[in-house]
Structure 1
């Protein structure tokens, strides 16, 4: 149960951390907490021998050390010319090095070998006691409730910090609360996945959820679900196979879910983007083909407004020099146009427009030439820079401008008066 609550809180906190573009901050907090754990252990051992393994004290030390790491990063970034990524690297390396030195000292103490502090580095869910589980899920619940109560404010902070400040929101305070939640989640995750992998459970669920939705609420919920599933699978695997490290399995499960989201996500997935781009390229190619047909036919057919364009055939040799396409690309566009019933094959190398294709070709030529006139007369764009991919101009230009452009168009191209 503690792992599941930790996965939920990690997914929620990681969502805001990702949107704030501070993904590496979780890594810094995790590594910076190491000396805090060591110092807390030493203090408790000096105060009362055999009490250094008390988890609340260790987590408090980790939290204070993680906060100190964040403050150090801010000071380095604001008081020097060092960039944020370098400041993060300096803080991470310095605090982690200090932690390793302190751990070496602890190992030489009489009770150091039985302290079990290495579990904070690599994580070990199998050794978590019931009292530790209760502490972890209580802290996780507090983090989840805090994120829910400040959900709207955190969303505003992530998407438009300057607007939030102009509206009087306490941006600095909200940022500190958000960073406090990140610290809390990182600290309670040390026993489950360890400081080396805790940043993965913060970022992977949020990054995976980004591929499925554009809404913040849905993304947060999806990230929480992925975090829970990852932690559950890790805990179950660790229980069934004692030699498997639960922390590593948790992160691997999240990584698998990230790969699935990367390829099959319904908003930003690779396959969806590939399919959408392919459909767009096909539509543009078909539009260019119809425009090329119209340009060829209007020079061979008498320019009468009611003259049909479906009776005249166009050969491949006439089409090929009209655009910068290859013969293979042209043949593929011709097949697509035939599939859409815009063209009919007259012979192996000759094609003609269907009635549906003639309507589409006239519309494509009209829209392109309206755009051409608009860009030349109103935007002062050179003719060579006019985009040939002109779709529905009615969705962009005002009706009054379209009427004026059509008047100029019909004067220049009388044969288009009915299109």
Structure 2
């Protein structure tokens, strides 16, 4: 049997094998897959470039904690559209020309950015108040101007409402070129000011100390937002434009901790959202393109939320489980070692050393029976403990070495908390448990130098408190004979 090539498959001749797929729908899918229609290529390319540019700019607004600035500035562009339509003919331009309308939107957006910076500089007003004032005032003025425009015969035919909700299907080649040029300009500005914008987002005080002007950098960031908002009005509209600035950057945050990688991932997510959203809106003609693009972007966000390599829910859950298992293992080994140490001190004879019983270990911490059994099984599988003929838990040689290391770290931190943090000896055991699992070798060496100047390096210091289960005196030192062979 001859397998049809991709062109035949995409053109729809292979679709009759799929039950329930109508012929017109098959033809539409096939033409979209091959980008047969000129308008399809223009719209998909424009939406892809818009998503790419908005994703990159959105990273800085998100890290600068200015995510809602994009919402305020997108609404601030609306009065510029109305004014450009009304005043364009007075200056000799066609009021319905897209370049004239977008120029008016850009001018209005820049005015909104300046208004935000001015209101924020006032002594008793914070940024959230500035955003609320600018958004409501400018959007109200825009709605009033559009109402006036709609009352004229030319205004009713202009279709200015598409700048509110978006209409990517009406995008032309000139619009796509404008989006491409604006996206290139935004990328160039980001590349030239990458260091200064990075300092602005992460350490504003250090940026000011290095001689950077914080107001100018904020104005540059808002200018980038205005640029992206201006070219996104037709594709997704001013209401949904905030989603293209925030969602790709927020999704990229789950995948990496490096800014330049975050920029690439955010741009990729934004571009993929624009591409898939434009394709879906072309397949399902009754769905608005802006809403479909944003919903596609939201789907990618939730996938990143679940599967992100750095901050995804599943990855963090697995890391927490692994950390919890490691902490339980360390507590088990340390508990066995300290029970043996206390047995030697209590009896005063090496021959009295004994294995740790299950009930003794169970009483050390708030472990359940099943949890303790699982810990013992895991430690046994790792070659750290073994069960003797009486059913008690013994440390292997490898387990002894690991337990001594853990006890050494734990008691160093206990001594530090008692000596330098004034933590009571009766409480220091639990306080040390909270931090001992992440002590680095360099910190251990510094603690030894600070606290154990009279002891050999690596020697286990005495417990500063009584060990549970035995009447040992606080401060007693474990003898070398108390260690397991």
Per-residue deviation, 1:242? 1.6
**CA spacing shift, 1:237–1:417, aligned 2, 3 Å:** same
**CA spacing shift, 1:359–1:308, aligned 2, 3 Å:** farther
- TM-score w.r.t. length of structure 1: 0.91
Q: Aligned with 2:387: secondary structure?
A: strand
Equivalent residues in 2 for 1:72-83, closer than 5 Å: 72-79=115-122, 81-83=124-126
Q: Is residue 2:174 matched to residue 1:174?
A: no
Kept in 1, the 8 Å contact 2:350–2:482? The answer is no
Whole-Å separation in 1 of the counterparts to 2:121 and 2:192? 31
Q: Which residue number in structure 2 is paired with residue 414 of structure 1?
A: 479
Could you tell me which runs of 5 or more consecutive residues in structure 2 were left unpaired when the two chains were aligned.
1-44, 463-475
**CA spacing shift, 1:173–1:330, aligned 2, 3 Å:** same
Q: State the structure with bigger RCO (CA 8 A, min sep 6), 1 or 2.
A: 1
Q: Aligned with 2:394: secondary structure?
A: strand
Q: Which residue number in structure 2 is paired with residue 251 of structure 1?
A: 294
Kept in 2, the 8 Å contact 1:35–1:65? The answer is yes
Per-residue deviation, 1:305? 12
Whole-Å separation in 2 of the counterparts to 1:24 and 1:55? 26
Q: How many residues align?
A: 417
Q: Which residue number in structure 2 is paired with residue 41 of structure 1?
A: 85
Report the RMSD for the aligned CA atoms in angstroms. 2.7
Q: Is residue 2:59 matched to residue 1:15?
A: yes
Q: Which residue number in structure 1 is paired with residue 243 of structure 2?
A: 200
**CA spacing shift, 1:352–1:117, aligned 2, 3 Å:** same
Per-residue deviation, 1:395? 2.7
| Bigger mean CA offset, 52-61 vs 172-181 | 172-181
Whole-Å separation in 2 of the counterparts to 1:240 and 1:348? 72
Per-residue deviation, 1:188? 0.7
Per-residue deviation, 1:38? 0.8
**CA spacing shift, 1:23–1:320, aligned 2, 3 Å:** same
| Bigger mean CA offset, 397-406 vs 269-278 | 397-406
Q: Aligned with 1:313: secondary structure?
A: coil
Q: Aligned with 1:344: secondary structure?
A: strand
Deviations 1:224-271 (A, max 9, x none): 111111111122222222212111111111111111111111111111
1:272 equivalent among 308, 315, 319: 315
Kept in 2, the 8 Å contact 1:362–1:416? The answer is no
Per-residue deviation, 1:79? 2.1
| Bigger mean CA offset, 182-191 vs 360-369 | 360-369
| Bigger mean CA offset, 403-412 vs 272-281 | 403-412
Whole-Å separation in 2 of the counterparts to 1:273 and 1:335? 24
Whole-Å separation in 2 of the counterparts to 1:306 and 1:193? 81
Could you tell me which runs of 5 or more consecutive residues in structure 1 were left unpaired when the two chains were aligned.
none
Whole-Å separation in 2 of the counterparts to 1:406 and 1:395? 18
Whole-Å separation in 1 of the counterparts to 2:243 and 2:166? 13
Whole-Å separation in 2 of the counterparts to 1:406 and 1:333? 33
| Bigger mean CA offset, 360-369 vs 278-287 | 360-369
Per-residue deviation, 1:331? 2.8
